[in-house]
């Protein structure tokens, strides 16, 4: 990671959402991995929840977090596959301002190194909504590690050069 030691690390507030019909707080290992990495990176874990694969429930949770001044970004694990119950990208379509297509493209490139062509089954994606970031990763532990370690750890570090998501945050609402 190209970190500029002259820059100051700026922790942001991150909420973690697990989208699953089967996970509970007792066995949400991908959510646990994300929370651990958020804290280890020095960010503030401001909220964590589990929602079923249900568009209205996901949208409601995200809207609440978008209204929360402590939340700067949301990282979602789950619901990005191809089955009928996988609806995270559809929920994001209902609240997004802009897509961040490079996130999904880069995630699949990184994931290809781990799982080969099976990565084409992923609909990992990212959007901005009301001046905040929302990143959606597949629900597997490996995918969460690939997404955080390979993309988010760097892009959510204000010291990362030549640019990063954090430095853009004040300007996300510009028209």
* Mean pLDDT computed over 45-71: 98
Distance from chain centroid for Cα 23: 18
Closest to 104 (Cα-Cα) out of 59, 46, 165, 150? 150
- Which pairing describes strands 44-51 and 125-129: parallel, antiparallel, or unpaired? unpaired
Q: How confident is the model at residue 2 (pLDDT cuts 50, 70, 90)?
A: confident
Ranges of each domain in the chain: 13-170
Give me the CATH topology for the region 13-170.
Molybdenum Cofactor Biosythetic Enzyme; Chain A (3.40.980)
**Which helix (H) or strand (E) segment is 15 a member of?**
strand 13-19
Whether the predicted pLDDT of 3 surpasses 90: no
* Mean pLDDT computed over 55-64: 98
**pTM tops 0.85:** yes
* Mean pLDDT computed over 115-140: 97
Rounded Cα distance, 160 and 77, in Å? 24
pLDDT at 23: 93
The chain-wide mean pLDDT, for the chain, equals 96
Give every CB contact of residue 82 below 8 A, 6+ residues apart in sequence. Answer: 121, 123
Whether the predicted pLDDT of 1 surpasses 70: no
Q: Above pLDDT 70, what percent of the chain? A: 99
Rounded Cα distance, 4 and 20, in Å? 38
Which pLDDT tens digit goes with each residue over 67-126?
999 999 999 999 999 999 999 999 999 999 999 999 999 999 999 999 999 999 999 999
């Amino acid at each position: 990671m190209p970190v500029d030691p002259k820059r100051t690390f700026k922790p942001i507030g991150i909420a973690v959402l697990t989208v699953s019909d089967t996970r509970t707080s007792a066995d949400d290992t991908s959510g646990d991995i994300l929370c651990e990495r958020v804290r280890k990176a020095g960010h503030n874990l401001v909220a964590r929840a589990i929602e079923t694969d249900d568009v209205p429930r996901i949208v409601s949770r995200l809207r609440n977090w978008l209204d929360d001044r402590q939340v700067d970004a949301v990282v979602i694990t789950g619901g990005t596959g191809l089955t009928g119950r996988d609806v995270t990208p559809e929920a994001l379509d209902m609240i997004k301002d802009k897509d961040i297509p490079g996130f999904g493209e880069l995630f699949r490139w990184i994931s290809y190194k781990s799982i080969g062509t099976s990565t084409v089954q992923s609909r990992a994606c990212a959007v901005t909504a009301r001046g905040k970031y929302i990143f959606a990763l597949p629900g597997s532990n490996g995918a969460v590690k690939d997404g955080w370690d390979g993309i988010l750890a760097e892009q959510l570090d204000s010291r990362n050069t030549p640019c990063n998501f954090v430095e853009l945050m004040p300007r996300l609402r510009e028209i």
